[in-house]
Every structure is written in C-alpha cells, then in structure tokens.
Amino acid sequence: SEKLARRLGWKEEAVKSLRWGAYLHDLGKLAIPDAILHKPEQLTPDERRVIQKHTTVGYDMLQDLHFLPAETLDLVRYHHERWDGQGYPSGLRGQDIPSTARVFSIVDVYDALTSVRPYKAAWTRERALSEIKLQGGRQFDPQFVESFVLMMTEQDDARLVR
C-alpha cells in the first residue's frame, strides 16, 4: 500500500495515515464470532451481514483515539466500498470513496486472492493481477489499478533481471 501511495505521489503524512489504516483495517473482526470468521463454507446471507459490520465496529472502536488521522479512520470504515457503488457499509461510489480506502482495497484484495483461506486455495500472481485489472472501474479506482498493475509488473521484471 505504501509503495502504491508513493508511486501516486502522496506526501509522507498521507502515507503514514494509510499505513496506520492498513494495520487497523480489520480491527472490527474482533467482534465477529469465530464460527463465522473461520467458516470453511460459503457464508449465509445473515452471516455475511454480520461480517460486514466489522468496518463500522472497527471505526467505532477507534473513534476516541484522537491521535489517529481522519484518513486512517476512513480506511477502516470504507475499505469495502466499491468504485461502482455496490460496496459496504455506505454504498459510496467513485471519488466519494476516501483515497486511503481506494488504494488499500486493491492491495487488500490482491493479498486475499494470493493467500490461502479456509474456503479457497491461493491464486497465482498472474491470475490475481488479471482479476484486479478486470475489476478496475467496477470494484476499484481504474487509475489506481493501472498504477498497481504497472508497479507489480515492474517488480516482477526486476526479479527476472536479478
């Protein structure tokens, strides 16, 4: 997330807010029952509603920590919003989604796709990047996706050169 933010020309204070949000983004999952959080099968609609509350629960938990920047709190609350407005908790769309949440959501999904989960095997880097590209303009900010994919491709190219 930090590399992408720097690539996008963010000032260090904004990068710091993003970093703190990345560390804290799933804090609200502490309030989610383990039976739902670690369920190996598909969630029921009721279970999905419970897990979706982690964004607002985490935000509420952090409200009284006045040293946290608003951009950090925005990331915690809005990292599951979608560019097309179909996300949660507020159904924000496009530029209305705070930039920290827009950047982090790409990296968070990439990490989720390339990691083993109780309900799925890890995807390859190529498959995950293909999905991220496909979701540009739908789930993700298309300009941020373009920068992310280019950054990851350059990183892969640098590995090949070594």
> Any idea which residues carry the catalytic annotation?
29
| Tokens representing residue 124 in the block | 């390859």
Determine the Cα–Cα distance for residues 110 and 125; give it in Å rounded to an integer: 8
Using CA atoms, how far residue 98 sits from 28, 39, 82, 83, in Å, is: 19, 30, 11, 11
- Structure letter (DSSP) for residue 95: G
Instruction: Count the alpha carbons within 13 Å of 29 in the hemisphere toward its beta carbon.
Output: 11
The string of DSSP codes covering 5-61 is HHHTT--HHHHHHHHHHHHHTTGGGGGS-HHHHT-SSPPPHHHHHHHHTHHHHHHHH
Determine the Cα–Cα distance for residues 2 and 90; give it in Å rounded to an integer: 25
